[in-house]
Amino acid sequence: MFDKVLVANRGEIALRVIRACQELGIKAVAVYSEADARAPHVREADEAVCIGPPPSSQSYLLGDRIIEVAKRTGAQAIHPGYGFLSERAWFARAVREAGLVFVGPPAEAIEAMGSKTAARQLAISAGVPVVPGTTEPLRDAEEAAAIAESFGYPVLLKAAAGGGGKGMRIVREPSELASALGAAQREALNAFGDDAVYVEKYLDGPRHVEVQVLADQHGNVLHLGERECSLQRRHQKMVEEAPSPVVTPALRARMGETAVAAARAAGYVNAGTCEFLLDTDGAFYFLEMNTRIQVEHPVTELVMGIDLVQWQLRVAAGERLPFDQKSFTPRGWAIECRITSEDPSNGFLPSTGRITHLHLPSGPGVRWDGGIEDGSEIGLHYDPMLAKLIVHAPTRPLAIARMRRALRELVIEGVETSRDFHLRLLEHPDVQSGDMSIQWLEAHLTELTSASASDETVQLAAIAAALAAHDDRGQATVSNSPASSRATGSAWRDIARRESLGLG
């Protein structure tokens, strides 16, 4: 096993990896930008090195500088977390060439799955079903029209280099195709430096169901069941659960075997995820493989009773997986809510400021994977995800009840957050019955973002704020929301830039 590992990330995932290291008796080296000098991941690590100014292009994305720090501090391996450098094949290769271990798949596997079109070709050759569409970038609007016509509208234009929902356009009619193609190509070029766009059939009402894969260096490839991630806004996940309310043991086995086949075809090692769309008729189609640990990995950890990040480190150190496929049957139900510094009642506008008060939920079955604390400054340089609240309970209804209870315990003051939105989401009868598709959340957005009169928690918060104001100043002043400064127009451009770096 390694003695020392460098963690090339920030926020909750950096802390998550540091915790895994410490439990395995590994020293953790943190890197940080000037904006993160007082961040929890810096304090919790055994050593920390400042690598540059706040913009990630001058800090967390500087692969060569990070490798240099790893060598200087005597780290033997680099864990990239998710986002930033985690899916850059050149970085995985550079780490290897520097004589260090990349805690993730080989650079060749990242490359094979890096482009959506290449991944589709690989999947097809491995006998894995893909969404009907092309495996080559579109040449022009005429070609796009002919292909779209052949499998019928609506279609989805997608950036080959895509990620984070960028460079995607739904086209419902032939007349919209040419301009949508131009827009998708421009967005792809901006975000990924590559304007290759291809086309897929746009499926109506499917679920996003993904399969966790874990592979060692000795040819063992196992799957750890599925996660349901259908609750999405702008193609971005907001709530995830394991297992999926609609996946039977037989379907789990079939989807799992398919994911293992895709992973084997790519020469995959370490933890990875095959994403599928599960259609209303039970057919499933490969979307892409994420060649890293995912944000939503904790729900799998809880139902499978395994520490995925520790296994990432153990597999990277050459350990053999001591499990067989039968070891992995989900126990109970786990749900994760992504707590972001966004204001749902204001178009999910990013909110900035200082966290003036933080009270964390606790009690049975509650897990908080966060990167914030009292006094944390929330700016616009990085992703607005502050933390993940995760619960585990014996059944889905009990897990929902537990999550609602935990969300009610959670207090974050100083910035707007998605907390109340999550509460309303989990109170919705469709979510409670598990009757959702990838289009569900967008279709119910207005209903979910307009605070209803019966919204007890919001009212209680307002009353509490009024009482607090009364106590402090000796007079009653009513404040509905905690102090927060809102993003401005130029802040939006920063966000766009951040997303273009693949951090969205």
Instruction: Give the catalytic positions in this structure.
Output: 292
Binding mask 420-439 for ligand ADP (x = CB under 6 A): ------------------x-
Contacting ligand ADP (CB under 6 A), which of 40, 80, 114, 163? 163
Count, residues near ligand ADP per rule CB under 6 A = 19
Sequence-distant contacts of 55-62: CB under 8 A, at least 24 apart: 55/381, 56/84, 56/381, 56/382, 56/498, 56/501, 56/503, 57/501, 58/33, 59/31, 59/32, 59/33, 59/34, 60/8, 60/9, 60/10, 60/31, 60/33, 60/84, 60/85, 61/85, 61/501
Residue type at 91? F
Asked if 228 interacts with ligand ADP (CB under 6 A), we say no
Backbone φ, ψ for residue 237 (5° rounding): -70, 140
Contacting ligand ADP (CB under 6 A), which of 63, 164, 225, 298? 164
Beta strands in 316-425, from DSSP E residues, in sequence order? 333-340, 342-343, 349-354, 357-359, 366-370, 377-378, 385-393, 411-413
Asked if 165 interacts with ligand ADP (CB under 6 A), we say yes
Asked if 8 interacts with ligand ADP (CB under 6 A), we say no
Backbone φ, ψ for residue 200 (5° rounding): -125, 155
- Given the rule CB under 6 A, which of 201-209, 396-404, 409-417, 494-502 is the region that contacts ligand ADP? 201-209
Q: Which of 207/367 has CB closer to ligand ADP?
A: 207
Signed CA dihedral, 419, 370, 495, 378: sign only = positive
Q: Which of 163/350 has CB closer to ligand ADP?
A: 163
- Given the rule CB under 6 A, which of 83-91, 134-142, 195-203, 370-378 is the region that contacts ligand ADP? 195-203
- The dihedral formed by the CA atoms of 98, 104, 106 and 108, expressed in degrees to the nearest 10: -110
What is the SS3 assignment for 204-224? CCCEEEEEEEEECCCCCEEEE
CA 355 to chain centre: 23
Binding positions for ligand ADP, 101-140, rule CB under 6 A: 131
Asked if 191 interacts with ligand ADP (CB under 6 A), we say no
Contacting ligand ADP (CB under 6 A), which of 13, 51, 177, 203? 203
Q: Which of 133/350 has CB closer to ligand ADP?
A: 133
Contacting ligand ADP (CB under 6 A), which of 114, 162, 361, 482? 162
Quick one: tokens of 283? 């057919």
Collapse the DSSP code of 47 into the 3-class scheme (helix H, G, I; strand E, B; otherwise coil) and give the result: strand
Q: Which of 76/294 has CB closer to ligand ADP?
A: 294
Contacting ligand ADP (CB under 6 A), which of 12, 241, 288, 336? 288
d(CA 189, CA 169): 14
Asked if 156 interacts with ligand ADP (CB under 6 A), we say yes
Contacting ligand ADP (CB under 6 A), which of 61, 110, 287, 406? 287
- Return the H-helix or E-strand segment holding 284: strand 284-290
Signed CA dihedral, 9, 12, 16, 22: sign only = positive
- Given the rule CB under 6 A, which of 78-86, 161-169, 335-343, 472-480 is the region that contacts ligand ADP? 161-169
- Given the rule CB under 6 A, which of 39-47, 158-166, 414-422, 494-502 is the region that contacts ligand ADP? 158-166
The site for ligand ADP (CB under 6 A) is made up of 131, 156, 162-166, 200-203, 208, 232, 235, 275, 277, 287-288, 438
